[in-house]
Amino acid sequence: MTGAKNNILEAVGGTPIVKLQKLARHVAADIYVKCEYLNPGGSMKDRVAGNIVADAERRGLLGPGGTIVEATSGNTGMGLALVAALRGYSCVFVMPDKMSPEKVAGLRAFGARVVICPTAVEPEDPRSYYQTAKRIVAETPGAYYANQYHNPANPEAHYTSTAPEIWAQTAGEVDVFVAGMGTGGTISGCGRFFKEKKPGFRLVGVDPIGSLYYEYVKTGRMTRPFAYYVEGIGEDFLPSTMNLKIVDEIVRVDDKECFLMTRELVRQEGLFVGGSSGAAVAGAIKYAEASKRKENILVLLPDGAQKYLSKIFDDKWMRENGFLDEVDPLGTVAELLSRKKQRPLVTAKKGESVRDVIATMRDTSVSQMPVLDGEGGRLCGIVAEVDLLDFLVKGEAGLDSPIDLLVESDYAMVTPATRVHLLRNIFSDAQIVVVETGDAIVGVITKIDLIEFLAERKT
Ligand code: PMP
């Protein structure tokens, strides 16, 4: 019939771009959003799924009777399930246990098998969702592992579909592209296209506090990731689909600001979106507040609100997790730092001798300290008493050796606005917490600092 698509896959893409009306009035830039949540499978991953399957078929890796296996936070699974339904494949999806029940139910609605794995294990752990997916592929005849974290067809989908569509819709008038970063497919694929088209184009990645991207870009170190609630963005390893080199700026956001912004996007702008959309818009607004430039910023909204009704849009869940409290009983890291005995921050410098660092530790009674590089005083890691001890016991090098070899990454980064409530979880993974604003270190917090702060409040 005239006007009809042949099948629902032909309806992927062609999503609208809309100007924010209320939430970004205070910034000089105009902020626009690309409504990828309006795709048939509910997210921008429909484009990725289509490209991954087409690529696998072309290369003879997936054929009739085949099974698509994927480790997914939900949306890639949904896209793949949609393609599989039309092309007659079976699907097995492996998901981390923090994902919303609506996502699991959605995948099961397509007849897919869903396997849930613990979130709180290392990516190399056989129970992790990445490793479980690999095992299922090995055990299933005719299985194809979509592997969105390492499949070039993922960023390619954004390079050949999302970005050219944005370019055509806006006649190239976009100056800045903002996206949350999970596999990195969106930012790397779109980013490559935009940068080829327009010199000076800026790419801004948004990273949740707890993920390791931000620190990795700033210091080249893999810090201790820790758990956070926003779904679909941030990683605890580096996927090969992520090209961090083309990202000009990374903005950090915490769960609370992501979720409150998500609720405002629905209530004030009528954009029925999920948590990573709130994260991306919160990040874009922070970027625009800092840059103060009059320019066109385009933010990609990955998925819709439906899947998060039992979380972000449920007041009970929000309150239980401390995201709705106007007054947080434990306060923020800024308060903890100001209550901490007013000792100046003690740091070491890259290149400093082990002897000098030991002397500083003795004179100031600290057991761990941040190490800054020479130029600019940027953080490059921490040095801890226990590492100095190991070094001296092994006796392989002398006291005049530089401490550089002992600098390690067993720390987590937070900002002064991070809630103290979150530090408990962070300390189960990291030895020390470094507090940073912009590029400056404003303090360090150890377990004993937290204990003292909490004990003082009780007295
Ligand atoms: N938001 C949501 C809800 C997602 O599912 C994903 C994919 N993990 C992203 C954002 C991030 O997109 P990408 O993987 O392309 O970096």
Residue ending a domain, among 145, 177, 200, is 145
> Is residue 3 situated within a structural domain?
no
Residue ending a domain, among 145, 167, 192, is 145
> Is residue 325 situated within a structural domain?
no
CA angle 249, 26, 211 (to 5 degrees): 30
> Is residue 311 situated within a structural domain?
yes
CB 180 less than 6 A from any atom of ligand 1: yes
Phi (first) and psi of residue 347, to 5 degrees: -130, 160
Tell me what the pLDDT averaged over the chain comes to. Answer: 91
89 and 224 housed in the same domain: no
What is the model's pLDDT at position 296? Answer: 98
What is the model's pLDDT at position 452? Answer: 86
CB 274 less than 6 A from any atom of ligand 1: yes
CATH number of the domain encompassing residue 399: 3.10.580.10
**Backbone φ/ψ region at 184: left (φ over 0), alpha (ψ -120 to 50), beta:** left
232 and 369 housed in the same domain: no
pTM, two decimal places: 0.82
What is the model's pLDDT at position 326? Answer: 64
Nearest CA to ligand 1 atom 2: 232
Report the distance separating Cα 311 and Cα 118, nearest Å.
19
pLDDT digits (tens, 9 = 90+) for 39-51: 999 999 999 999 9
348 and 286 housed in the same domain: no
Residue ending a domain, among 100, 120, 145, is 145
What is the model's pLDDT at position 406? Answer: 85
Whose structure tokens read 């409150």?
A: 260
Nearest CA to ligand 1 atom 10: 232
Query: Does the pLDDT at position 376 exceed 80?
Result: no
308 and 450 housed in the same domain: no
What is the model's pLDDT at position 385? Answer: 85
Closest CA to 93 of 49, 150, 151: 49
Based on the structure, what is the number of domains in the chain? 3
422 and 298 housed in the same domain: no
177 and 287 housed in the same domain: yes
Active site residues: 45
Average pLDDT over residues 150-159: 98
What are the DSSP calls for 388-422, one per residue?
HHHHHHHT-S-TTSBGGGG-B--EEEE-TTSBGGG
223 and 140 housed in the same domain: no
Whose structure tokens read 């694929």?
A: 189
280 and 304 housed in the same domain: yes
pLDDT digits (tens, 9 = 90+) for 275-298: 999 999 999 999 999 999 999 999
20 and 102 housed in the same domain: no
Q: Which domain holds residue 438?
A: 333-458
305 and 340 housed in the same domain: no
pLDDT digits (tens, 9 = 90+) for 314-354: 999 999 888 987 666 788 898 888 887 667 788 899 889 99
Average pLDDT over residues 21-37: 97
CB 302 less than 6 A from any atom of ligand 1: yes
What H or E segment, with its residue span, contains residue 128?
none
Is the CB of residue 261 less than 8 Å from the CB of residue 240? no
Average pLDDT over residues 171-194: 98
Ligand 1 geometric centre to CA of 292 (Å)? 27
pLDDT digits (tens, 9 = 90+) for 121-135: 877 888 888 889 999
Average pLDDT over residues 291-315: 96
- pLDDT class of 12 with cuts at 50, 70, 90: very high
> Is residue 409 situated within a structural domain?
yes
What H or E segment, with its residue span, contains residue 384?
strand 379-384
Residue 276 alpha carbon, nearest atom of ligand 1 = 1
What H or E segment, with its residue span, contains residue 152?
none
User: How many percent of the chain have pLDDT more than 90?
Assistant: 61
Q: What is the dihedral of CA 250, 412, 98, 52, to 10 degrees?
A: 40
User: How many percent of the chain have pLDDT more than 70?
Assistant: 98
CATH number of the domain encompassing residue 126: 3.40.50.1100
pLDDT digits (tens, 9 = 90+) for 448-459: 888 888 888 766
162 and 141 housed in the same domain: no
What is the model's pLDDT at position 137? Answer: 95
Nearest CA to ligand 1 atom 1: 232
